[in-house]
Structure 1
Amino acid sequence: MAADGSAHPKTPLSGEDLDRVVQNAHAALGQRQQADGHWVYELEADASIPAEYILLEHYLNRIDDALEQKIAVYLRRTQSEEHGGWALYHNGGFNLSSSVKAYFALKATGEDINAPHMRRAREAILDHGGAERTNVFTRIQLALFGDVPWRATPVMPVELMLLPRKAFFSIWNMSYWSRTVIAPMLVLAALRPIAINPRQIHIRELFVTPPERVTDWIRGPYRSVWGRVFKGLDSVLRPTLGLIPSKTHEKALKAAIDFIEPRLNGKDGLGAIYPAMANVVMMYRALGVPDTDPRAVTAWEAVQGLLVHKEDEVYCQPCVSPIWDTGLSGHAMLEAASGPKGIAPQATLTELRKASKWLRDKQILDVKGDWAVNNPNVAPGGWAFQYGNDYYPDVDDTAVVGMLLHREGDPANAESIERARQWILGMQSRDGGWGAFDIDNNKELLNHIPFSDHGALLDPPTADVTARCISFLAQLGHGEDRRVLERALTYLRKEQEEDGSWFGRWGTNYIYGTWSALCAFNAAGVSHDDPAVVKAVEWLRSVQRPDGGWGEGCESYEGGSHGTYGESLPSQTAWAVLGLMAAGRRDDPAVTRGISWLAAQQDENGEWHEDPYNAVGFPKVFYLRYHGYKQFFPLMAVARYRNLESSNTRRVAFGF
């Protein structure tokens, strides 16, 4: 059904209809561009981070009651009517850890625990094993409030900071997000501070077994026999921690702080992600650093910068996504301005020049970040995901921005593009793929230690990031890069699923991964009749929904079927038709129906709407909703469909 309730068209859209959809979407997206040229949309996760923000205020005794009441509105709104707890994504199943944190936060804001919504949440939590069965990060949060003993958390001594890169448990073998979260957390675990918690809010009622009587806090999940081996090692190490010499302990604390402070990132915060930033705020308080100290002031301001204020509610983002949003919005705007019927190309070019200038200024050219530990001879040249995160440029963002600057065509972009190309070439892993932030970050056994019950301690190569790098390098067309591309294409072929799809590590999910891979094959000149391409096309056709759209839920990360959902979604439908068009199927009836569905879903303001989450941080643990996806991807898809109408080859001539 269309946004106005009418059925979507059964026949191909007329040229006028296509132009109207593109013009309206282009205008709507253009209105969201900031004065300096960039775009930024909200980035939403589950209830955990808004709840953790409330608990952070109570930890510090920096309580803003008016703000917390607005966050409480958000938490109550996102509570599930079906199971009484909180899910990790829209209409998802009960999640114990998220529910415990949300309940704790609501209680801290003054909610009556006997109110119907609190009672339902408590009953659901107890039915699922109680707070003692929450994940490691939640138990650490509870330990900071004195609700569980520190023995409820795995052994993670701060002395880990002293291990060299070649040591198995070295932080340098972990992902960027793990390093930045763990470093201040190790300081907290060493000092074991207790929250001020001025109102003395505790959640003893959420435990099936009183915390002091729980004897087995570490229960997995065990992904192999190694999980049990590491649990045994945890038990052996625990009584030895007190034997570590005090000088070594002090040296380790200093090593942690020496790691953290160069990476504090000003108002963007450590790693520019909420968990690391909040841990730094608590770490400074535990170290006795006054709140008036410039470091503590800036760390607190960085956390505040993640809050999204609305009229009646507030929530806290996990991070912000301006580079990603600007890159993708720029591609969509450029697509709308392309072709014989391009929209106001001169005006669009002016706006894109502003975006390009803003992006060039954000390129990281003078900081060798953590990625350089494994590849010190490569010059910096990437972009971060956030406004500022110089130690942690993102391979995916760099490829997307590089393709945009190349397509946009301003000669001033040339140096930035070449620096990005050289950095991307240097970031290829040994297996031919690319990870998001590091090279060869793939010591899988680390995901079996008790601390890693989320299974996301690493940043190995993935199909979607690899596909983007192929697309970027192929679009540039340097002959000397062909060997790199062949290795990457081999990797991508190996990663194809039996049904023809690709796993989407950073976007939901197999539709996203398959779109990414098909774009890469097209950009690299792989035949549209190649068996891998044909198999992927047939899979996309097979999961199209009866109404003409596509949809996929986060359940596909949890054993659910590939490429299916209870409704069609604008972002998913756009990825599917973009993938099919990259495979040379612009005139396929499946594409025609998908474009018609998108046109029918556009509202009178030129926008699309979707509530389900469309991306992932850590599968099964942490999911994301990019608020911009529902806007720039449909515009990109409909504009490309229109532009290919007049193409002699019907082949997409660039990588994205």
Structure 2
Amino acid sequence: MLDVMDSAATSEIDPGQLDRVVGRAHQALARRQDSDGHWVFELEADATIPAEYILLEHFLNRIDDATEQKIGIYLRRIQGEHGGWPLYYGGKFDISASVKAYFALKCLGDDVAAPHMRRAREAILDHGGAERSNVFTRFQLALFGEAPWHATPVMPVELMLLPRSAFFSVWNMSYWSRTVIAPLLVLAALKPVAVNPRGVHVQELFVTPPDQVRDWIRGPYRSVWGRAFKVLDQVLRPATKLIPSSTHRRAIDAAVKFIELRLNGTDGLGAIYPAMANTVMMYRALGVPDTDHRAATAWEAVQALLVDHEDEIYCQPCVSPIWDTGLAGHAMMEAASGPAGVDPGATKAGLDKAAEWLRDRQILDVKGDWAINCPDLEPGGWAFQYNNDYYPDVDDTAVVGMLLHRQNDPANAEALERARKWIVGMQSSNGGWGAFDVDNNKELLNYIPFADHGALLDPPTVDVAARCISFLAQLGNNEDRPVIERGLQFLRDEQEKDGSWFGRWGTNYIYGTWSVLCALNAAGVSHDDPMVVRAVEWLRSVQRPDGGWGEGCESYEDGPHGIYKEGLPSQTAWAVLGLMAAGRRDDPATVRGIAWLTTHQDENGEWDEQPYNAVGFPKVFYLRYHGYRLFFPLMALARYRNLGISNTRHVAFGF
């Protein structure tokens, strides 16, 4: 009976229509390749960063009215029906994002009596007021004098002097925490006050006047350790006043030295907005002129994150050219593969340019922060952004490595070997891989008052581990088999009870499950392995009646796994890629998913996807990769087509 169903379902996909859909998607993606060979798409977050950008200009008194008014249009457009601002498309009210957005709009001159401002203010007050916003928002309020500095946790700049062996050392924190904290510690030490040339204040957002708030630090407490660290915070607060001024000055100098070594040219500190903006404010607080090359470089890096759509502007958290180029390259290669390949000659020429561009950006001569735990390991990775040499990540490195390996070009050999050795050396002791560091897993740090976002660390995750396993398995070096086996055991141990896997960097269980199924396939794990069977059954169970798949960011907030109100192109593509990696190319669920993708393509060869499809920090910071709606559907459709005309149904590639 199953064979009959498979045959009937397969016949519903017209090969000619499939070829046309793949061809249009291939052309759409090809049009977006830059002349130098790379791809880069917009990376959108929530209201927080555009609002912070406005506040940064008012902190410095470097106001560009034209830019700010366009950001205001963006902020008003994404205001939620609940009156405040969510962290992702259609999400619930978030008090911290709402406080910053309201403050920014007031800086623009929005009348506090206007309906959108009144609704926002009422929502903020209904949720406890600005005093209940998160740590980073309270730092922002303190910089503007809207809240006292004791509203923020004790974070003495002397942390920069602690060795790696000290529990509270910045070297035990994640890359993103380290780079954000370093300039923030200097700001907390100097306690500057924003220029705020228009004298904008937001005292109306507080339920209790700031000078009367008795308890600023109230969690969230995820265990008794949170309360214990709060007591420690109270003890340290008066004790920091006893630190000798010479030590204080030495710590500030250490922070500045740390930052200036990592300014990364035009991409700024860590190549992420919070670290870059904090650096700009730090230089102003230190009295460094805006014309100084260091301050100017930091400011230019922030400016480069603005996205101008003529009628509105927003600020990105960072840029993603390496990631976008690697993933787009895989999709283009898949589309051009096989007897029915789309324009193989032109595609090869484009991918050759992409490969050259990527090889030039492999980090071969900088031992970044990862070397603190791996001092004998030679560099060989790629970063996420254009210039972020101190912070390559294994996920980007694996994706780029798989693409270069699939090209079968001798010019890629050295780059592949350097990448292989680096990824092997970056494996954590539990068999998994974190994104940027080895064994960055001192979980207790996530309970300090500063870490109310719960994302101070970079522990191993299944999606990153899956990509590393896929890369090493694709290379096929026998000496790497023990590394792969340890990684496979990590994946096996991390499988959820329902058969899925958690997706740390993409939304969410569909992303994690797709990633792992690809890795298991590449590593030669049997399609009949119980781990695989359970994952396949889970994917089938969450398919929507219309044939698509979708998952909301609510799944990071104790919502259902793999469920959303509508099908989404990227997630439908992940699901069918996962099923095909598990040997289920002709499964009715796969066929229905492919049919969904073919019928949802627009006339430009693209797909529309408004909901967010990735995560920075679960429950705190979400992302929308604008490229996901293009290259993942193309990859899935082309893979389905290629498997249908191939002599074998086994796919060794990690995607």
Q: Alpha-carbon deviation of 1:649?
A: 2.5
Are 1:43 and 2:40 matched, yes or no?
A: no
CA distance in 1, matches of 2:151, 2:654: 49
Moved more, 640-649 or 178-187: 640-649
Q: 1:486 matched to which residue of 2? A: 485
- 1:299 aligns to 2:298 (yes or no): yes
Deviations 1:499-518 (A, max 9, x none): 00000000000000000000
Correspondence list, 1:119-518, <5 A: 119-518=118-517
Please state whether the residue corresponding to 1:281 is helix, strand or coil: helix
The superposition leaves residues 202-254 of structure 1 with CA deviations (integer Å, 9 ceiling, x where unpaired) of 10000000000001000010011000000000001101111100111011111
CA distance in 1: counterparts of 2:536 and 2:241, whole angstroms: 60
Residue 647 of structure 1 deviates from its aligned partner by 2.0
Structure 1 partner of 2:58: 58
Residue of structure 2 equivalent to 1:19: 19
- Any conservation in 2 of the 1:10–1:596 contact (CA below 8 Å)? no
> Is 1:117–2:116 an aligned residue pair?
yes
TM-score in terms of structure 2 length: 0.98
Partners of 1:447 and 1:458 within 8 A in 2 = yes
Any unmatched runs of 5+ in structure 1? 1-8
The answer to whether the aligner puts 1:563 opposite 2:557 as a matched pair is no
The residue number in structure 2 matching 1:600 is 599
Displacement after TM superposition at 1:11 (Å): 5.7
SS at match of 1:645: helix
CA contact (8 A) 2:381 2:397 kept: yes
| Deviations 1:482-533, CA, capped at 9 Å, x for gaps | 0000000000000000000000000000000000000000000000000000
The one-letter amino acid of 2:331's match is A
Contact 1:353–1:410 under 8 Å retained in 2: no
Using the alignment, how far apart are the partners of 1:53 and 1:479 within structure 2?
A: 50
SS class of match (1:624): strand
Conserved 8 A contact 2:103-2:202: yes
Question: For residues 10 and 193 of structure 2, what CA distance do their matches in structure 1 show?
Answer: 63
CA deviation after TM superposition for structure 1 residue 653, in Å? 2.5
- Measured in 1, the distance between the counterparts of 2:244 and 2:12 equals 75
Contact kept? 2:10, 2:588, Cα under 8 Å: no
Checking the alignment, whether the CA contact within 8 Å between 2:153 and 2:233 is kept in structure 1 is yes
TM-score, normalised relative to structure 1? 0.98
TM-superposed deviation, 1:286:
0.1
Partner of 2:576: 577
**Per-residue displacement from partner, 1:272-328 (whole Å, max 9, x unpaired)?**
000000000000000000011011111100000000001200000000000000000
**AA partner of residue 125 (structure 1):** I
User: Does the 8 Å CA contact 2:394/2:436 hold for their aligned counterparts?
Assistant: yes
Segments of 4+ moved more than 2 angstroms = 9-12
Contact 2:597 2:633 in 1 (8 A): yes
CA offsets per residue over residues 436-465 of structure 1, 9 Å max, x none? Answer: 000000000000000000000000000000
Letter paired with 2:253: K
Q: Secondary structure of 1:308's match?
A: strand
Identical-pair percentage = 78
How far did residue 408 of structure 1 move? 1.3
Superposed displacement of residue 648, structure 1:
2.4
Count of paired positions: 647
| Whole-angstrom CA distance in 2 between matches of 1:12 and 1:369 | 52
2:645 match: secondary structure = coil
User: CA separation in 2, counterparts of 1:236 and 1:380?
Assistant: 42
| Other-structure match for 1:6 | none
Instruction: State the match for 1:4 in structure 2.
Output: none
Q: CA deviation at 1:584?
A: 0.2
Query: Could you tell me how far 1:10 is from its partner in structure 2?
Result: 10
AA paired with 2:260? Answer: E
Q: Which deviates more from structure 2 when the two are superposed, residues 11-20 or residues 28-37? A: 11-20
Q: Is the partner of 1:38 in helix, strand or coil?
A: coil
User: Deviations 1:518-568 (Å, cap 9, x if unpaired)?
Assistant: 000000000000000000000000000000000000000000000000000
The answer (yes or no) to whether the contact 2:467–2:519 under 8 Å persists in 1 is: yes
Contact 1:577 1:595 in 2 (8 A): yes
- Contact kept, 8 Å, 1:89 with 1:613, in 2: the verdict is yes
Q: Output one character per residue of 1:253-278: Cα deviation in whole Å (capped at 9) or x when no partner.
A: 11111111000111100000000000
Query: Within 2, Cα distance between the matches of 1:144 and 1:208?
Result: 20
Counterpart code for 1:25: A
Give me the whole-angstrom Cα distance separating, in 1, the residues matched to 2:567 and 2:22: 20
The question of whether the paired residues in 1 share the 8 Å contact of 2:402 and 2:474 is answered with yes
Q: Hey, what's the Cα distance between the residues in 2 that align with 1:103 and 1:170?
A: 35
Mapped partners of 1:433, 1:229: distance in 2: 30
Aligned-partner Cα distance in 2 for 1:421–1:429: 15
Report the aligned-residue RMSD. 0.8
1:592 match: secondary structure:
helix
- Asked if structure 1 preserves the Cα contact closer than 8 Å seen for 2:10 and 2:591, the reply is no
1:51-98, CA deviations, whole angstroms, 9 ceiling, x for partnerless residues? 0000000000000111100000000000012x0100000000000000
* Structure 1 Cα separation of the partners of residues 21 and 300 of structure 2: 41
State the SS of the aligned residue for 2:406: helix
Secondary structure (helix, strand or coil) at the match of 1:383 reads coil
Query: Is the CA contact 2:10–2:586 (under 8 Å) kept in the aligned structure 1?
Result: no
Q: Which amino acid aligns with 2:47?
A: A
Matched, 1:586 2:592: no
Q: Deviations over 1:599-619 (max 9, x none)?
A: 000011100001000000000
Identify the residue that residue 5 of structure 1 maps to in structure 2: none
C-alpha distance in 1 between matches for 2:291 and 2:483: 51
SS at match of 1:581: helix
Question: Secondary structure of the equivalent of 1:343?
Answer: coil
- Deviation, 1:410, is 1.6
Q: Is the 8 A contact 1:558 1:620 kept in 2?
A: yes
Q: Which amino acid aligns with 2:31?
A: Q
SS at match of 1:215: coil
